Amino acid sequence: MSEASALPALPELPGIATASVRGQLVYHPSAEQYLAAVEALREASFNMCSDLCGVDYLRHPGRELPAAVKPERFEVVVQLLSFDRAERVTLRLQVKESEPACPSISRLYPGAEAMEREAFDMFGIVFLQHPDLTRILMPEDWEGHPLRKDYSPGRVPVQFKEAPGPR
Amino acid sequence: MSPTPGRRAAEVARRDEELAHETSEGAQELSERAETNEEELLIEEGAILRLPEGLVLDPGDVDVEFGEDETMIINMGPQHPSTHGVLRIMMELEGETVLRSKPVIGYLHTGMEKTAEELFYIQGATNVTRMDYLSPLHNELVYSLAVEELLGIELPPRASWIRMLMCELNRISSHIMWTATNGMDLASTSMMIYGFREREMVLSFFEKVTGLRMNHNYIRPGGVAADLPDGWEDDVQALVDTIPGRIDEYDELLTGQPIFRERTEGVGVLGPELATAMSATGPILRASGVPWDLRRSMPYLYYDQVDFDVIVGTVGDTFDRYAVRLNEIRESCKIVAQILEKMPEGDYRCQDKKVTPPPRARIDESMEALIHHFKLFTRGFEVPPGEVYTAVESPRGELGCYMVSNGTSKPHRMHIRGPSFVNLQSLPAMLRGGLIADAIAVISSVDPVMGEVDR
């Protein structure tokens, strides 16, 4: 594309492990680098946060990561989209099991607000400085975070003789 | 079979304990103005978006006078006919003017992302098709594209063209359905009846091809479930011939009608900066003047080989969203007509024996086919480990699927980025400062499908 040369180059993000997966750039920032990286990408014409979701790697420990990145149990995956470049980049942030918290990007991308609420609701990842971090899909009084791998899906009692009762 | 007395007592004690358990119910709701801090108000109204100065809103900057204690918070839904399902909206009103609002969702949450982790890849399409029940084929498409990307398989061209045909027809039926219900929300009952009539034409074609009117499970990893039936060209030709004429009728019925224009023009305006910042996609984004359509900008399937226009609005009000959708039906008809000409011959699914079940006739002849069939339907196929994000343009916007595979035959994580879910966030910005009667028109113009919002 000839227009691409007129666009600002993808920002140099020093110290951030980068990988290219299926032709798409994936950044692996640490928790400290995360906000600055998102802000730099936002300046470089990535004007929409198209998706943000959590992943629980509890039962899938051997995933492929750049050597510099220490795998943790949770991951927050952000997809940023640039209209001018017609391009996506992915950010994968490792979140510790002992302290499931990471900064919120809803100040930079207000559209990420509901998605962060969903990730909080489903995985219990706390997004610091989020304006309204409440459960979004589950009822307020729900206990546990359903998409965690150690959260049992539960059972529905069936009407058979000698059937076990509800968990 | 009655429980023993001891067990019953334990049961009762547990129930009592559950009832006494203190909940934090209410935290999802819109809180009173007195309890809301300045920052929350600012965020709601877009001031942190760093918009150009003229666009930055002040928390108190609504064109009505109101005293601190004169506002009222009312609840609309989740059982309200105009909320298109179980959407609940809390609104702070001063007289008839909406000062603040907040959508409260989750009433249709059925844990489909968790369910997906328990299903084989081959079964997953049955699950995702039930999310956005007005455009099931797009859900199946984005799911199948993600699985195929991880598998690294190539599809025969005919499979992709069939997918395109079905998805464009689905876009037509979904937009017609929207026009119908939008008409009903604005008290044009005849529009609803016409809309359902035309939608039924498309759905009966779907029934002919897939066997079902909705929830097709037609697009599957590896291709589509069945080839198009004999004589499909005539059916599609009939649709392409009929629908544009019917759209002209809608145009005549609604577009020029003074009541309809009064109720939609200048109502629920969402500008391009705000729409982009709020991650709104689809007709909402395009109505505000941003020419962003994944079919054009980041083509998938064979959308780069068909000719169509991206419809863009100017103001970003409810009327523009109506106009964008109506004209997108015409564009989809154009695409369908081109697909009709370009449909290649060939296989309708890939011939990889590890992914595609063998044809029924082969099972009687070949032991190998029988084994493949048995293994596919009892253990599924294994997908190499990896992560992938795929996105398609559904009638409501960017429909994405983030999939993590751990090398087994079930996804480790399947996340669907539902366009309705994200688009709902911009509702407070649209409703702000408008009348409560207009809220109905605005909610309708966002086109939320609650099955997808709550998943």
DSSP state of A148: S
Flag whether residue B242 sits within 8 Å of chain A, measured between CB atoms: no
- pLDDT tens for B145-162 read 999 999 988 889 999 999
Kindly list the residues from chain A whose CB atom is less than 8 angstroms away from the CB atom of residue B425.
Answer: 110-111, 113-114
Q: Taking CB atoms and an 8 Å limit, are A77 and B402 in contact across chains?
A: yes
What are the two backbone dihedrals, phi and then psi, of residue B377, each rounded to the nearest 5 degrees?
-90, -10
Domain boundaries, chain A: 6-128
pLDDT over 80 at B75, yes or no: yes
Closest residue in A to B45 (Cα) is: A110
Can you give the pLDDT at residue B24?
A: 52
Q: Which one, of B163, B116, B112, lies nearest residue B138 by Cα? A: B163
Question: Quick one: average pLDDT of B209-218?
Answer: 89
Q: How far apart are CA A130 and CA B48, in angstroms?
A: 13
Closest chain B residue to A163, measured at CA: B1
Nearest-CA residue of chain A relative to B87?
A137
Q: Which residues of B fall within a CB distance of 8 Å from A113?
A: 43, 425
What pLDDT score was predicted for residue B37?
61
Q: Residue B107's CB: how many other CB atoms inside 10 A? A: 17
Inter-chain residue contact A50 with B413, CB threshold 8 Å: no
Q: Please give the helix or strand (H or E) that residue B72 lies within, else none.
A: strand B72-76
Amino acid at B434: G
Residue type at B153 in one-letter notation? I
- Identity of residue A36: A
Using the Cα atoms of residue B397, residue B214, residue A114 and residue B86 in order, give the sign of their dihedral: positive
CA distance, residue A102 to nearest chain B CA (Å): 20
Cβ–Cβ below 8 Å for A77 and B109: no
- Chain B interface test: which of A57, A75, A137, A160 (most B C-beta within 10 Å): A137
Domain A6-128: what homologous superfamily?
A: NADH:ubiquinone oxidoreductase Nqo5 subunit (3.30.460.80)
Residue B398 has φ and ψ, to the nearest 5°, of -75, 115
3-state secondary structure of A43: helix
Same CATH fold assignment for domains B58-107+423-455 and B112-397: no
Give the CATH number of domain B112-397.
Answer: 1.10.645.10
Q: A77: which chain B residues are within 8 Å (Cβ-Cβ)?
A: 387, 389, 402
Instruction: Provide the token pair at A24.
Output: 């798409």
B20's CB contacts (< 8 A; 6+ apart) are: none
**Calpha distance B365→A135 (Å, rounded):** 55
Q: What pLDDT shows up at residue A4?
A: 45
Q: Which pairs with CB-CB distance under 8 Å and at least 24 residues apart come from B400-403?
A: B400/A50, B400/A51, B400/A79, B400/B142, B401/B128, B401/B142, B401/B143, B401/B145, B401/B146, B402/A51, B402/A53, B402/A77, B402/A79, B402/B146, B403/B146, B403/B147, B403/B150
Please enumerate in sequence order all residues whose Cβ is within 8 A of that of B70, keeping only pairs 6 or more positions apart, or say none: B94
B85-138 residue pLDDT tens: 788 888 888 788 887 788 888 888 888 998 898 899 988 899 999 988 899 999
The residue ranking higher by pLDDT, B42 or B73, is: B73
Cis peptide before B78 (omega within 30 of 0): yes
Domain range annotation of chain B: 58-107+423-455, 112-397
Strands A126-128 and A101-103: parallel
Q: How far B417 CA sits from the closest chain A CA (Å)?
A: 6
The CATH architecture of the domain made up of B58-107+423-455 is 2-Layer Sandwich (3.30)
Evaluate if residue A155 carries a pLDDT over 50. Answer: yes
Interchain CB distance below 8 Å, A60 and B415: no
Q: Which of A25, A46, A63 to mutate to test the interface with B (most CBs of B within 10 A)?
A: A63
Q: Where are the alpha helices (DSSP H) in B100-254?
A: 112-118, 121-128, 136-151, 157-185, 189-210, 232-250
Residue A3 has pLDDT above 50, yes or no: no
Residue B370 · residue B355 · CB < 8 Å: no
Q: Residue B101: beta bridge partners?
A: B91
The continuous run of DSSP H or E covering B103 comes out as strand B97-104
